[in-house]
Amino acid sequence: MSGSDDAGHADRPSYRGFVLLDNTTVFGARRAFEWDPVRPRELPSGVNLRSLMDVLEAIVLFNDFAVDNSSREYFAWPHLNQVSEAGGSFFHDTEVLINSYALPTAITEISTAQLSHLLDSGQLVAQLGFMPSSRELDVLPPFYRDTDEFMRLAYNGVYRRSREGAAAGARLRALALSLERQHPSVRNFAYFAFRGFYYQQLAHLMSASYMPHSWRSGLIRSQIDHPVVKFGDLVLDETASIRAALSERINNEFGAAALSAEFPLIASYVIGQCSTRRSLLTTAVEIRRTAKATAFRNWIYDIEEKLRNQHDLVAIRTAQEELRTVVRELEQELGLTRREKQEVVVKLGIPLASAETTTHVPTVKPWLSRVFRRRTHLVFLRDLARESTRLTPFATAFRQLAT
């Protein structure tokens, strides 16, 4: 597909720092967003709802994210394009492939080998076991159900006249033919897995990150010897642990699982500020553009860049300490940890609530305001942690919202 990002290799933006999303994620998120239930309060497919959560998280947390359109002639989600342009052009529906025959050939070779290993080891069939039924695979694009169409798309960009290209195509064709003897659900999922390996390799070679579809994440992780450490995941996990601890205490007191719903932190934070489902994307963009969210996003990007380059270990350690201190102070405030006898000193100067929330905030002394300005990213972090104890889980809130 030709678009604003496809003016030729010389004009292509650098993908360093980008996050590559799956087409299946974006299309699934669109289906959930546009969901028109047959019965009142009926939810869309769980995997599509998960994709919508991932896109909302991408809007808030990623400076730029992209989806590859080399296999189609239309935009995946025009509404997302529109809100992106209005919010600073953070989403790129573009042909990510570099104008090179060697790159697609090499990636095809690697992806074919990874899929072969996944099949031979039995891991692919094992992953299928988590699905309620094979009908769940109906959310996958049609070309994952047709071998010829899959081969056409998978072989796209490979120079078939070269010896390497011909060999890559022959191995992929042999694998596809062997899958013809498998159950359709296994064959479809295998084609789906192949494309995930392909995008993972593509993102790596282009110095980008890859956020796979929720069904691909386990498959890809199983094939990576040394997974990439993501500081952003650590931050969200640590922050979400506050709600988890509070839920556990409440459940223990009830003697039953009164609180058990999955709580995706960023998506729940976004939907908690929406009045309708139609406002989900625009609300996410509004949050994205706040000073505290921008500082938080840049903080995570900066630390992840340091982790990739393995330098400035003091800054990485400082970021870890900042995270732990914010979580620890809020745990103490909520009575989730035993308080020390002496008065707890607020080390980071984080107010009990951000000035951008609706909670009343006492007047802050001038010297403390200067501290807040230097640590704006921690204000957003504390807001997320605090709101996690108050907000409704995303799926429940989605059901309650009007379209």
Would you say the C-alpha torsion 277, 282, 285, 289 has a positive or negative sign? negative
CA distance 109 to 104: 9
165 or 296, higher pLDDT: 296
Question: What distance lies between CA 241 and its chain's CA centroid?
Answer: 19
Check residue 160 and give its pLDDT.
61
CA distance 253 to 121: 44
Q: In the predicted model, is pLDDT for residue 98 greater than 60?
A: no
What are residue 92's DSSP bridge partners? 66
**What residues contact residue 103 under an 8 Å CB cut-off, 6+ apart?**
97, 157, 202, 205
Question: What distance lies between CA 337 and its chain's CA centroid?
Answer: 31
Check residue 280 and give its pLDDT.
97
> Is the CB of residue 46 less than 8 Å from the CB of residue 398?
no
Q: Are strands 209-211 and 65-68 parallel, antiparallel or unpaired?
A: unpaired
Mean pLDDT for 317-323 is 90
Structure-block tokens of residue 248: 């556990």
| Cβ neighbours, 10 Å, residue 137 | 19
Provide the residue count of the chain: 403
Mean pLDDT for 311-319 is 91
Tokens 């989806």 — which residue?
Answer: 67
Q: What is the pLDDT of residues 24-62, one digit of tens each?
A: 999 999 999 999 877 777 788 889 999 999 999 999 999
Mean pLDDT for 244-257 is 85
- Is the model's pTM score more than 0.85? no
Check residue 82 and give its pLDDT.
97
**What residues contact residue 398 under an 8 Å CB cut-off, 6+ apart?**
43, 49, 271, 277
Characterize 18-43 residue by residue with b for buried, 16 or more Cβ atoms within 10 angstroms of its Cβ, and e for exposed.
bbbbbbbbbbbbbbbbebeeeeeeee
Query: Would you put residue 356 in left (φ > 0), alpha (ψ -120 to 50) or beta?
Result: alpha
Ranking 76-80, 272-276, 293-297, 347-351 by mean pLDDT, the lowest is 347-351
Q: How far are the Cα atoms of 39, 203, 218, 403 from residue 196, in angstroms, in the given order?
A: 34, 11, 11, 32
* Phi, psi dihedrals of residue 7, rounded to the nearest 5°: -85, 5
325: helix, strand or coil: helix
Q: What is the pLDDT of residues 338-386, one digit of tens each?
A: 544 333 344 444 444 443 433 333 444 443 444 445 578 888 998 998 8
Query: Would you put residue 148 in left (φ > 0), alpha (ψ -120 to 50) or beta?
Result: alpha
Question: What distance lies between CA 283 and its chain's CA centroid?
Answer: 18
CA distance 347 to 326: 9
Count Cα neighbours of 244 within 13 Å in the Cβ-side half-sphere: 11
Helices (H) and strands (E) in the chain, counts: 17, 4
Question: Among candidates 396, 360, 358, 356, which has minimal Cα distance to 376?
Answer: 356
- Beta strand ranges found along 181-265 (DSSP E): 209-211
Structure-block tokens of residue 237: 């996990």
> Is the CB of residue 25 less than 8 Å from the CB of residue 55?
yes
Characterize 274-289 residue by residue with b for buried, 16 or more Cβ atoms within 10 angstroms of its Cβ, and e for exposed.
beebeebbbbbbbbbe
Q: What is the pLDDT of residues 106-143, one digit of tens each?
A: 888 889 999 999 888 888 888 877 665 556 667 777 77
> Is the CB of residue 252 less than 8 Å from the CB of residue 246?
no
Q: What is the pLDDT of residues 186-220, one digit of tens each?
A: 888 899 999 999 899 888 888 888 999 998 888 88
Ranking 33-37, 101-105, 157-161, 269-273 by mean pLDDT, the lowest is 157-161
325 or 11, higher pLDDT: 325
